[in-house]
Every structure is written in structure tokens, then in C-alpha cells.
Chain A
Amino acid sequence: MNQPSNAFLQMEFPAEVWLAAEEIPLGRLLDMQCGDVLTLSKEPEAEVDLVVNGVTVASGELVVVDGFFGLRIATTATQKLAGLDNNGGGEENP
């Protein structure tokens, strides 16, 4: 890829941190009230995904820096793709 210009480098994208995905029956979702709790199967300390504009670009550990959320990167999407290539590839993203 060509080196992007400064104008490109300053572009900003909406980012999200995706925590544990759960599968819940529709009946339970409709019945949810304020104060109810959904038990999560994954600890918040476990690895979470960084999603930018709908694309998972990295995964890592959720951290707090000076009272603000942050993400300590464990793996980038590039590294994951490289791993797939090394293992023969063939898998497609859903």
C-alpha cells in the first residue's frame, strides 16, 4: 500500500469494543426490565475485540489508563490473517 498522505492519516473512524457475545432466547429479551441482569459467560478481563467501522481490526485486554478505557493490543487482524496463511488458509470471515 502506498504511504498515505497527512490528510488520510487524520481521518477518524468510529471504534467499538465488543465484549462477550451471548445467545439469549427472544422471550427473555422481551421480558427484560431495568435492574435485570444477564449473566455473561466471558470475564471482562478476557480478550475483547476492537471493531472499527464494523470490521474487527484487533483484539486485546481491556485496561484503564488514568480513569479512561483503553485496549492493550494482543493480536491485530493482520497477524491473525498471517496465522491463517501459515496454517494453509482457506477460512473465510463470516
Chain B
Amino acid sequence: MSEEPVLRPEEVAGVLSGDAGNAPQPHADGEAQPYSLREPVAIPAAAEAQARGRLEGVVAALAELLDAEAEGGIKVLLEGFQQQRAAAALSVLPGPVWVTALAAKRGGGIALALQPAVALALMDRALGGPGDPPEDGREPTSLEGRVVSRMFGAIAEKLGAIFETDLTPVELTTDRIPDRVAASGETVGVSPLRFTIGETDHASLLLASASLLVPSGDRATPKARPVGPLARSLENVVMPVVPVIPAGRVSLTELSSLESGKVLKFDVVEDSMVELRVGETVIAGGRIRRQTGQTVFKIESRVGDKSTEEPS
């Protein structure tokens, strides 16, 4: 565990004085979101028990933290496990939901979605109060965000040992999972949590990306296929292939106004078919996916194979 104090004196003073700070801004409609192509159904049924076991390890570390910071005044219990789209996972909690998270360097991470009452109670207990905050249902101040992130970050090392990777704290967000942890369309492992503060129960969620919950396995090696009499030589000829998204047509007006930071929108829906090309020749169609922590091109049709080609 980090030697750094969870709360610094100036932060304690700020929390007590109700420093408003700058609350995080929610996403607006039409805003460009970083694109991430990740496997929609990511955790095989056979691996769900292992995934749940890892989240139980997170809850155990969390309970230890609560014992230390809240002196037993707050209890936490894990209540099940399921897979869900990241964008929909938080909808079961009344907003605003404070989301504190830890991200892995290789992508993915863990997020703890708290109702403000739980986060404020935790801070109140850590400050020596009764754990009974006078207000609820509001967005965090920037200072409160930093304090909650640092509290969760205090167990980053312990959680890193569970997931066999380095985890670093991510800035607290409201009502959404940070992009570094999971893309909106990505399926994540979700465990409902029950926090008990005094006599009152509060629902929360613990989420983790599939890349952390399921370790990458061995990949099957495809069988080689002979290529005529020169098979041995030809099979080893390396071909440059490129996955290409046909992005429709753009006008000269759009092209002439391109500049850094500008977003050029295409008439191609998200998760459309991607072409696999060798030079200018399309050899296959498919989609880019995240699979056991790696980015892959998954083939859905082969050019020349009439049973799988999409009608043009």
C-alpha cells in the first residue's frame, strides 16, 4: 500500500469548507468520442467464475481499506456477477454516479461507481465524522474527486497484484465510465455492491474490463496450406495487408478545411464491415475486435467465397 497519506491537510480543509471547484462536464450529444473496437461478448461462460473471483478479491481489498479509513463504520458486500455493456451498466443507479477508476497500461481497468452518499460518507468517516453526510445527489467538486480517486488509488498496488498488471488512478468522472477503462460499447464484468453505512444500505457497482478479468490464452496456430509446386517458398512470402474502412465520399470543401483538432464525420455507421486489403485488392471482410487483451481482425467473409460474401 502507498505510504502517501490518503488525505492531505489542505484537502481536509477544502472539503470542510465546501470548496466548489470545477465539476466534471458531462458529454454533450454530437460530441466526438474516442473510438474503440472491442469484443462485445468478452468473457466466455467458462471463465465467469474466475472473473467473479477476481472481483471478490477487489471487494476484499476495498473492505480492508474501509476498515482502515472508516474504522468499521462502512461495510461492503458483493452481490453477484454479470456481463453488461459499459454504456448501460450505470443506468441501474440513480444519478449522479461518481465513478472512480484504475486503468491498466495495456488498456482496460477497474471502476467503482458510487452513489454520492457512499463517497461523502466515506470521506466524512475518514475525517473523523459520523459518516452521515448532510447532503446527497450532487456532482463532486474537483477536490472531492481527487480525494475519492486517491482513496481508491491507495489500493492500486494490491489490486494490481490480483490482476497481474500495474494500475494507475484515473480522474473521477460523473455518470460515465472513463474511456481508458472501457469504451461505451464494450462489455464489462459487473458486480453489484451493497454498502452499509450505519443502518442504511446503498447500492453501488464494481466494473472491470474483460481484458483484466480473463487472462489471454494460447492462440491456435493455423495449418499451412500448400501453394502449388513452389509451396515452401511461396508460403513464406510476406504480404503487406491493411484493414481499411471505406469511409464514403468527402467533398473538396471538407478536404480544404481540414485542420488539427477538427472532426471529419463519415456516412459509415460504427462497427461497419472493414475490408482487408493486399495493395488495392480486397481479400476479405470482417470487423476489428478486442479479444483477450489483443486487437484482432476477425474474418467474416472471403472474397471469392460466394457463401460468405456480402451483396454489393
Contact = CB atoms under 8 A, between A and B. Distances in A.
B225 A27 contact: yes
B227 A40 contact: no
A61 B35 CA distance: 8
A70 B29 CA distance: 15
Interface stretch (B126-134, B136-144, B246-254): B246-254
Interface residues of B, number: 72
A6 B106 CA distance: 48
Interface string A33-51: 1111111101111000011
Nearest to A67: B270
A44 to B, nearest CB: 5
Contacts of A34: 299-302, 305, 308
A10 B252 CA distance: 6
Interface in A40-94: 40, 42-45, 50-52, 57-58, 61-76, 79
A50 B263 CA distance: 12
A70 B30 CA distance: 11
Contact of A9 (B222, B247, B253, B270): B253
Nearest to A72: B263
B224 A63 contact: no
Contacts of A62: 34-35, 245
Contacts of B49: none
With most chain B CB atoms within 10 A of its CB, the pick from A21, A57, A70, A79 is: A70
B258 A44 contact: no
A18 B253 CA distance: 22
Contacts of B247: 15-17, 50, 69, 71
Contact of B241 (A24, A52, A61): A24
Interface in B246-282: 246-253, 255-256, 258-270, 272, 274, 276, 278
Contacts of A50: 247, 264
Interface stretch (B62-70, B199-207, B229-237): B229-237
Given A42-B295, A44-B288, A68-B265, A63 B300 contact: no
Interface of A: 4, 8-40, 42-45, 50-52, 57-58, 61-76, 79
Interface of B: 29-37, 107, 219, 222-225, 227, 231, 234-253, 255-256, 258-270, 272, 274, 276, 278, 283-284, 288-289, 291, 294-302, 305, 308
Given A27-B236, A45-B36, 5 more contacts: A22-B241, A35-B300, A38-B296, A62-B34, A75-B260
13 contacts: A12-B251, A22-B242, A23-B240, A24-B238, A25-B239, A26-B238, A32-B284, A33-B302, A52-B255, A69-B245, A69-B247, A72-B263, A76-B260
